[in-house]
């Protein structure tokens, strides 16, 4: 309505102020415009709303009335509208157009109330409501999305509505659905047949063939004349079911209702229809898509293949050699492919996809000749599929459809025995997964030879298992040779050590295997370091010799350094064990152990990959795989499993479950409260060898627990706690012989063992899988370069918080999202407003600079979303120095300057304000000639490029160009640039002082006069596009709180995020950041830790010292060992985090006070005073530029009398001659009156908190004197 009034030039009459009229004519014309506006509104308002405005005399009254009625929608009304939208059904409307019209109307009302329904959401809602004739349209739409995945571009809602209307018109033209949409009611089995509107059945009944011909529409009469023949009502014989005279039995509603009830009860109780009334009509079905049998499968003795018309039933579609099939009337239809149809208890292979077919056909020929030994038996009321070897074994049962008199099968009936495919097929697949993707041949052997108990009868499986392909595919083996076998237990033991690319949650890196050659039973041990091999061998030897009563005679290994150590050799010699080594580079000689490593890795890989689990689960997967392999057939021990050959007891596998499935463990009563949950969701990861319990992984604690009372869901993996690392897997080396091993590689000893990263780290890195791809290699890797640790798995930790954010990375990910589209449009509008470029052809010989969109969600101080920011950046790394740029330097703000300005503002009770420059770099002038491609989403002419006129983010010279622009402007309006910090500017008037700190596009302003502050703000906004953010609250990660008591700064959010990042959020707090009495040294005997991770923690703590000077000494201490950190250094760094856990809200508090001059504390010897006097000189100089000159010397309080005497007196003696000449510069400062050294007792020495570890009482005392206190946000100074 507003647009209509604006188009007539009448919108201004709604203003609150009435213009002052100079003449009566002007007054009359204004009154005429009001009358015209009132009439225009009245003529365009619906009749049912006229009574609301009948008494109005002015257009403004009408507008106010409409605003009261429709301007605001309360929350309850929005809920009603949302419910009404979701409950809409196309079957409730005469046509799709009316349904869409009502849908759009409600959607518009929701949008007016502030609740926007996205196009994708609306399209999905409508698709789920379409039934009957529209099922093909719906399935095609969904299958297209599935097939194209992320490349599928969802149409807009209006485009979707147009396609849906065209689909309805096509269906009506083909007579597949009537012009009235009530046919949708009949197509839905959930509707009551009695409530279905009556339809006319006066059209000729089509003739029935075995397969309908899509080229001939037999549902309507063929009339070649120009005019249709006159309507003639048909006369039917009485219905044999209900006795009615106006419809045939096949169209009897009562009969359909009875059929529906019978199908629900799995019983056919409908009386046999009259053969006379259906004579000659039982050979085929109508070609109409709304056939009642379109979702069922029809047994067809004339079909050579299984056939379906529904695309969404098929999986793994591939090309088919059969291009077309013959149907009735000598016609043929195209075959578009073949695939697999999944059933509840199995699947159909090689099913042809023929979209023009109206029904799904089951080929009796294919059933009887599939090689599964099945027969099909027909009786008057049903059809039965039986096994040849056992005629009492019914595989599946179908029934007779009373309407069509065809034998049909309900494909999605989940009741027992209703699936066409044998239940044994899906059962075999389930046990295949329970046995860790064991070969089906071995699985059948276990079942047929009764080698275990609890395993049902299983069948072979011809399909492809994706998990096996991902984890076990390999080259074909070479010819095998003969090998000498052991004749008793422990006569020969094979052993090998292999590594995995990822450390487990417990820190394990290696797996050590021992295989008894006689029984082929395997024991596995998980090691953090190779040096632990001997200790685990001692444990293994003690256990197996005690259990078996035999002694180990021969141990066969490769030439790995872990086996060739003096200690290992001496242990074998002392216990009479013959240690056999393989010949170097001859892996075949220890093939039993090598092949065991391969099979364990393959099975582990299958189980982890098939459940999309993190690679850190490899320990649990290998342990589970070994448990399974000890209970599966082995050709070296015929007729029994390795477990039975070793223990003499037949293993029970009835409690085998699929690795990685969802499990619920009972929580004992004594460990939970009354109203707490009685079960906890965990992940099944295997069985306990020596305890009657299951191994379960707790995703919350990252620990493995043992539980007895467990229930599992093997059909679902707990994906919330697992991750997918998409990366190709390298194939293993080929196996050449049963008794040969891989080539032994040199294994140099590292200078010190590397301790595992924390267990939480591996899972965190796995969750951020986009940081680095998984480089899993199934081939064993023996050696690592001495002294070099591969830190690539941790390369992304410094950006972990950004890596796990939801900000899009690519333009295709952001495009289509309303928030990001709006952000990109705002950025583009800003670029155009600043005349950033001209579109020109690219000159010959010039290089084109690329560009990209960068997306960032900006958060407020409390963590809430402040805005979505899209930035167009140039890829400046392609610029050439001397051609595309010359100078790039731009000064950066010192945090010391920020602290000084805040301290001065608090001392004089000045308020600190903040301003933000919009698109700051665009204000810089670009002197070089640079050509850039047009940004994605805003390409106007692909033959043109952008000739940049302004600097752009990403260009190497952009920061310098912006700084020069801002610097020139500030100097032009009277500012003075500080020599000590070129990002700090001073403006002095006769009575007032203003300080300005420039940090890229953020400005901090404080002044003794609010009027001067506002005047500078106006000048800045007149020159640049800026945002006045008012009082300073958040700056560079610092929370700033201004009140009458002073200014406080803290980094609570940063510290909280740091604890979360290193999984220390729930740690026990520590009273101090270090432990007094413990000395850290570089010559440490503890294990090495990951240096990259250690440096990232230290770097984060260094940034935190901007507001936490109380941790400065502890951070500086641990930073000394960043080149080679050990476990003791890592624990010291974690203690700082524990201290932060208890002091998250602490920060620096600047109080209002009168300070006469600069005073400092130094706890140092004579040479160390040099650093202190440098700070004093810098402070005196910058304060002098601010206008706070100090005539008197600055006092340095020192508790070292010797240093004070040397500074005051030019004495020389044996104890000072080693001091360098430049160290005596402080003596010159004292003589010049710049610095004055004074003695302070050690008890009052404030600098001790920065120089030495202190006991808790002394530390807390100095921390309070330092001004580090708990910061309470709120109550800002106005």
Q: Looking at the structure, do residues 47 and 11 belong to the same domain, yes or no?
A: yes
SS3 377: strand
Q: Looking at the structure, do residues 53 and 79 belong to the same domain, yes or no?
A: no
CA count, 13 A, side-chain hemisphere, 1045: 11
The per-residue DSSP string of 407-439 comes to EEE-TT--STT--SS-HHHHHHHHHHHHTTS--
* Cα angle 709-714-716, degrees, rounded to a multiple of 5: 115
- Max mean pLDDT among 201-210, 574-583, 684-693 falls in 574-583
Q: Give residue 846's pLDDT.
A: 84
**Which of the pair, 929 or 21, is modelled with greater confidence?**
929
Q: Looking at the structure, do residues 502 and 357 belong to the same domain, yes or no?
A: no
**Which of the pair, 490 or 715, is modelled with greater confidence?**
490
Antiparallel, parallel or unpaired: β 337-343 and 912-917: unpaired
Q: Looking at the structure, do residues 475 and 388 belong to the same domain, yes or no?
A: no
Cβ neighbours around 858 below 10 Å, total: 9
- Cα 235 versus chain centre, distance: 66
Q: Is 230 inside a domain boundary? A: no
Tell me the CA distances in angstroms from 1032 to 911, 1025, 1194, one per residue in order. Answer: 8, 19, 31
Q: Looking at the structure, do residues 605 and 471 belong to the same domain, yes or no?
A: yes
Cβ neighbours around 302 below 10 Å, total: 12
Tell me the CA distances in angstroms from 263 to 297, 383, 750, 930, 1109, one per residue in order. Answer: 15, 15, 73, 75, 78
Place of tokens 């946000």: 1273
pLDDT in tens, 1080-1106: 887 777 778 888 888 999 999 999 988
Q: Label residue 992 exposed, middle or buried (CB < 10 Å: 0-12, 13-18, 19+).
A: middle
- 372: domain CATH number is 2.40.70
End residue of a domain, out of 40, 71, 102: 71
Give the DSSP H/E element, type plus range, for residue 444: helix 440-448
Q: Looking at the structure, do residues 623 and 488 belong to the same domain, yes or no?
A: yes
End residue of a domain, out of 71, 94, 127: 71
- 653: domain CATH number is 3.30.420.10
Q: Is 576 inside a domain boundary? A: yes
Calpha distance 1084→1068 (Å, rounded): 26
- Which of 78-87, 308-317, 812-821, 948-957 has the lowest average pLDDT? 308-317
pLDDT in tens, 999-1029: 888 899 999 999 999 999 999 999 888 889 8
Q: Is 682 inside a domain boundary? A: no
pLDDT at residue 763 above 50? no
> How does the average pLDDT of the chain come out, rounded?
73
Q: Looking at the structure, do residues 894 and 828 belong to the same domain, yes or no?
A: yes
What is the arithmetic mean of pLDDT over 391-418? 61
Buried b (16+ CB within 10 A) or exposed e, 1201-1236: eebbebbeeeeeeeeeeeeeeeebebbebbeeebbb
pLDDT-based confidence at 1053, cuts 50/70/90?
confident
pLDDT-based confidence at 642, cuts 50/70/90?
very high
SS3 334: strand
pLDDT at residue 715 above 90? no
End residue of a domain, out of 274, 303, 331: 274
Cβ neighbours around 950 below 10 Å, total: 21
pLDDT in tens, 605-641: 888 888 888 888 888 899 999 999 998 888 888 889 9
- Which of 211-215, 375-379, 646-650 has the lowest average pLDDT? 211-215
Calpha distance 1234→1192 (Å, rounded): 7
Range of the domain at 33: 2-71
pLDDT at residue 200 above 80? no
Q: How many structural domains comprise the chain? A: 7
- Which of 128-137, 287-296, 479-488, 834-843 has the lowest average pLDDT? 287-296
DSSP lists the bridge partners of residue 1040 as 1049
Q: Looking at the structure, do residues 165 and 62 belong to the same domain, yes or no?
A: no
> DSSP code of 71?
I
Q: Looking at the structure, do residues 291 and 254 belong to the same domain, yes or no?
A: no
pLDDT in tens, 571-614: 999 999 999 888 776 776 778 888 888 889 888 888 888 888 88
Q: Give residue 1007's pLDDT.
A: 92
- Cα 23 versus chain centre, distance: 70
At residue 378, φ and ψ (nearest 5 deg) are -105, 140
Contacts of 100 (CB under 8 A, 6+ apart): 126, 161, 164, 165
The closest of 927, 940, 954 to 832, measured between CA atoms, is 940
pLDDT at residue 755 above 60? no
Calpha distance 948→925 (Å, rounded): 10
The per-residue DSSP string of 1162-1225 comes to E---TTTHHHHHHHHHHHHHHHHHHT----SPEEEEES-HHHHHHHHS----TTTTTS-GGGGH
Q: Give residue 148's pLDDT.
A: 43
The percentage of residues in the chain with a pLDDT greater than 90, rounded to a whole number, is 12
pLDDT-based confidence at 466, cuts 50/70/90?
confident
What is the arithmetic mean of pLDDT over 1153-1166? 62
pLDDT in tens, 4-21: 777 777 777 776 666 767
Calpha distance 493→577 (Å, rounded): 10
pLDDT at residue 934 above 90? yes
Q: Is 331 inside a domain boundary? A: yes
Q: Give residue 416's pLDDT.
A: 32
Q: Is 908 inside a domain boundary? A: no
Q: Is 1268 inside a domain boundary? A: no
Q: Looking at the structure, do residues 319 and 299 belong to the same domain, yes or no?
A: yes
Q: Give residue 907's pLDDT.
A: 87
Q: Label residue 1093 exposed, middle or buried (CB < 10 Å: 0-12, 13-18, 19+).
A: buried
pLDDT-based confidence at 1233, cuts 50/70/90?
low
Calpha distance 442→626 (Å, rounded): 15
Q: Is 61 inside a domain boundary? A: yes
Q: Looking at the structure, do residues 823 and 971 belong to the same domain, yes or no?
A: yes
Q: Are 339 and 317 in contact (CB under 8 A)?
A: yes
Q: Give residue 280's pLDDT.
A: 33
Antiparallel, parallel or unpaired: β 394-401 and 382-387: antiparallel
At residue 863, φ and ψ (nearest 5 deg) are 95, -5
Q: Give residue 1017's pLDDT.
A: 92
The closest of 1137, 1156, 1146 to 1266, measured between CA atoms, is 1146
pLDDT at residue 751 above 50? no
Q: Is 269 inside a domain boundary? A: yes
Calpha distance 689→670 (Å, rounded): 27
What is the arithmetic mean of pLDDT over 160-175? 78
Calpha distance 359→285 (Å, rounded): 8
Structure tokens at 342: 């999944």
Q: Where are the beta strands (DSSP E) in 354-501?
A: 360-363, 374-378, 382-387, 394-401, 406-409, 492-499
pLDDT-based confidence at 770, cuts 50/70/90?
very low
- Which of 475-484, 583-592, 820-829, 1212-1221 has the lowest average pLDDT? 1212-1221
Calpha distance 1029→88 (Å, rounded): 47
pLDDT at residue 670 above 90? no
Q: Is the dihedral of CA 902, 908, 909, 914 positive or negative?
A: negative
pLDDT at residue 1072 above 80? yes
Q: Looking at the structure, do residues 41 and 143 belong to the same domain, yes or no?
A: no
């Amino acid at each position: 309505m507003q647009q209509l009034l604006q188009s007539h030039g009448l919108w201004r009459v709604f203003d609150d102020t009435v213009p002052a009229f100079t003449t009566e004519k002007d007054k009359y014309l204004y009154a005429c415009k009001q009358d015209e506006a009132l009439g225009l509104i009245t003529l365009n308002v619906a009749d049912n709303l006229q009574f609301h405005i009948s008494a109005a005399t002015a257009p403004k009254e009408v507008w106010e009335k409409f605003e009261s009625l429709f301007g605001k929608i309360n929350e309850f009304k929005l809920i009603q509208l949302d419910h009404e939208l979701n409950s809409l059904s196309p079957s409730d409307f005469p046509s799709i157009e009316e349904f869409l019209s009502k849908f759009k109307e409600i959607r518009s009302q929701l949008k007016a109330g502030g609740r926007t329904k996205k196009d994708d959401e609306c399209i999905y809602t409508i698709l789920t409501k379409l039934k009957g004739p529209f099922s093909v349209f719906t399935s095609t739409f969904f299958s297209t999305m599935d097939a194209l995945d992320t490349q599928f571009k969802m149409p807009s809602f209006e485009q979707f509505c147009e396609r849906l209307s065209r689909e309805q018109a096509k269906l009506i033209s083909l007579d597949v659905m009537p012009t009235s949409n009530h046919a949708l009611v009949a197509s839905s089995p959930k509707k009551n047949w009695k409530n279905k509107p009556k339809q006319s059945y006066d059209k000729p009944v089509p003739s029935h063939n075995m397969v309908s011909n899509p080229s001939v529409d037999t549902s309507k009469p063929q009339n070649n004349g120009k005019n249709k023949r006159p309507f003639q009502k048909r006369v039917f014989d009485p219905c044999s079911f209900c006795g009615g005279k106006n419809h045939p039995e096949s169209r009897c509603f009562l009969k359909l209702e009875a059929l529906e009830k019978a199908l629900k009860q799995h019983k056919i109780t409908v009386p046999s229809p009259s053969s006379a009334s259906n004579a000659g009509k039982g050979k085929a079905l109508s070609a109409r898509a709304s056939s009642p049998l379109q979702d069922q499968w029809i047994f067809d003795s004339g079909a050579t293949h299984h056939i379906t018309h529904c695309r969404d039933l098929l999986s793994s579609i591939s090309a088919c050699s059969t291009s077309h099939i013959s149907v009735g009337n000598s016609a043929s239809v195209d075959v578009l492919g073949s695939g697999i149809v999944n059933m509840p208890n199995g699947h159909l292979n090689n099913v042809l996809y023929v979209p023009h077919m109206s029904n799904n056909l089951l080929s009796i020929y294919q059933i009887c000749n599939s090689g599964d030994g099945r027969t099909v038996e027909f009786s008057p009321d049903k059809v039965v599929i039986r096994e040849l070897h056992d005629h009492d074994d019914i595989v599946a049962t179908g029934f007779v459809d009373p309407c069509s008199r065809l034998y049909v099968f309900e494909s999605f009936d989940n009741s027992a025995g209703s699936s066409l495919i044998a239940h044994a097929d899906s059962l075999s697949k389930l046990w295949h997964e329970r046995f860790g993707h064991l070969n089906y041949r071995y699985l059948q052997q276990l079942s047929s030879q009764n080698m275990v108990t609890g395993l049902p009868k299983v069948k072979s499986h011809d399909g492809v298992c994706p998990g096996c392909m991902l984890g076990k595919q390999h080259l074909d083996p070479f010819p095998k040779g003969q090998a000498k076998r052991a004749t008793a237990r422990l006569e020969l033991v094979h052993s090998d050590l292999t590594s995995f690319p990822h450390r487990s949650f417990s820190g394990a890196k290696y797996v050590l295997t021992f295989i008894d050659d006689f029984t082929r039973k395997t024991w596995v041990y998980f090691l953090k370091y190779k040096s632990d091999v001997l200790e685990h061998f001692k444990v293994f030897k003690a256990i197996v010799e005690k259990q078996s009563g035999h002694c180990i005679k021969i141990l066969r290994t490769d030439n790995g350094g872990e086996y060739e150590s003096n200690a290992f050799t001496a242990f074998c010699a002392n216990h009479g064990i013959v240690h056999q080594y393989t010949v170097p580079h001859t892996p075949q000689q220890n093939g039993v152990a090598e092949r065991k490593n391969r099979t364990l890795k393959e099975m582990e890989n299958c189980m982890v990959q098939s459940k999309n689990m993190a690679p850190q689960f490899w320990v649990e997967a290998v342990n589970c795989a070994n448990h399974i392999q000890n209970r599966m057939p082995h050709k070296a021990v015929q007729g029994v499993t390795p477990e039975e050959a070793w223990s003499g007891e037949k293993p029970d596998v009835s409690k085998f479950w699929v690795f990685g499935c969802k499990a619920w463990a009972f929580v004992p009563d004594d460990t939970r409260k009354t109203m707490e949950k009685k079960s906890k969701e965990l992940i099944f990861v295997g069985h306990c060898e020596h305890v009657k319990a299951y191994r379960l992984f707790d995703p919350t604690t990252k620990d493995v627990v043992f539980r007895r009372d467990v229930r599992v869901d093997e059909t679902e993996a707990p994906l919330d706690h697992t991750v997918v690392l998409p990366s190709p897997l390298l194939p293993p080396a080929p196996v050449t012989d049963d008794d040969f091993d891989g080539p032994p590689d040199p294994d140099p000893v590292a200078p010190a063992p590397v301790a595992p990263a924390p267990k939480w780290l591996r899972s965190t890195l796995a969750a951020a899988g986009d940081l680095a791809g998984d480089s899993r290699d199934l081939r064993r890797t023996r050696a690592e370069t001495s002294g070099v640790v591969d830190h690539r798995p941790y390369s992304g930790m410094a950006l972990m918080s950004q890596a796990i954010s939801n900000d899009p990375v690519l333009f295709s990910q952001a495009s289509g999202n309303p928030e990001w589209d709006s952000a990109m449009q705002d950025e583009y509008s800003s670029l155009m407003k600043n005349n950033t470029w001209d579109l020109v052809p690219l000159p010959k010989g010039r290089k084109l600079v690329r560009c990209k969109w960068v997306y960032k969600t900006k958060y407020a101080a409390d963590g809430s979303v402040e805005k979505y920011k899209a930035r167009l950046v140039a890829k400046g790394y392609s610029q050439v120095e001397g051609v595309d740029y010359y100078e790039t330097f731009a000064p950066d703000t010192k945090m010391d300057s920020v602290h000084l300005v805040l301290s001065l503002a608090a001392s004089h009770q000045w308020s600190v304000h903040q301003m933000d420059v919009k698109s700051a770099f665009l204000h810089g002038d670009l002197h070089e000639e640079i050509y850039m491609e047009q940004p994605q989403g805003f390409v106007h002419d692909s033959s043109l490029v952008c000739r940049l006129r302004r600097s752009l983010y990403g260009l190497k010279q952009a920061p310098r160009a912006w700084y020069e622009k801002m610097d020139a402007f500030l100097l032009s309006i009277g500012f003075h640039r500080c020599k000590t910090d070129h990002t700090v500017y001073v403006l002095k008037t006769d009575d007032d002082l203003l300080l300005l700190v420039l940090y890229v596009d953020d400005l901090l302003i404080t002044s003794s006069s609010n009027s001067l502050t506002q005047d500078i703000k106006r000048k800045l906004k007149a020159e640049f596009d800026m945002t006045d953010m008012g009082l300073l609250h958040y700056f560079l990660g610092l929370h700033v709180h201004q009140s009458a008591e002073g200014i406080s700064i803290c980094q609570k959010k940063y510290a909280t995020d740091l604890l979360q990042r290193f999984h220390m959020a729930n740690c026990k707090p520590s009273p101090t950041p270090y432990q007094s009495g413990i000395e850290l040294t570089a010559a440490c005997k503890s294990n090495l830790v990951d240096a990259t991770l250690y440096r990232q923690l230290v770097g984060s703590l260094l940034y935190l010292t901007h507001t936490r000077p109380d941790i400065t000494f502890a951070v500086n201490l641990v930073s000394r060992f960043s080149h080679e950190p050990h476990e003791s250094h890592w624990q010291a760094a974690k203690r700082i985090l524990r201290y932060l856990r208890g002091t998250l809200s602490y920060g620096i508090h600047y109080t209002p006070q009168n300070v006469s001059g600069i005073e400092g504390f130094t706890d140092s010897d004579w040479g160390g005073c040099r650093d202190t006097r440098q700070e004093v000189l810098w402070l005196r100089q910058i304060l002098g530029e601010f206008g706070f000159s100090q005539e008197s010397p600055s006092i340095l309080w020192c508790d070292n009398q010797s240093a004070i005497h040397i500074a005051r007196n030019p004495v020389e003696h044996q104890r000072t001659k080693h001091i360098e000449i430049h160290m005596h510069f402080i003596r010159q400062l004292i003589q010049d009156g710049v610095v004055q050294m004074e003695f302070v007792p050690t008890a009052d020495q404030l600098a001790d908190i920065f120089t030495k570890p202190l006991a808790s009482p002394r530390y807390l005392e100095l921390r309070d004197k330092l001004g580090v206190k708990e910061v309470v946000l709120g109550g800002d100074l106005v």
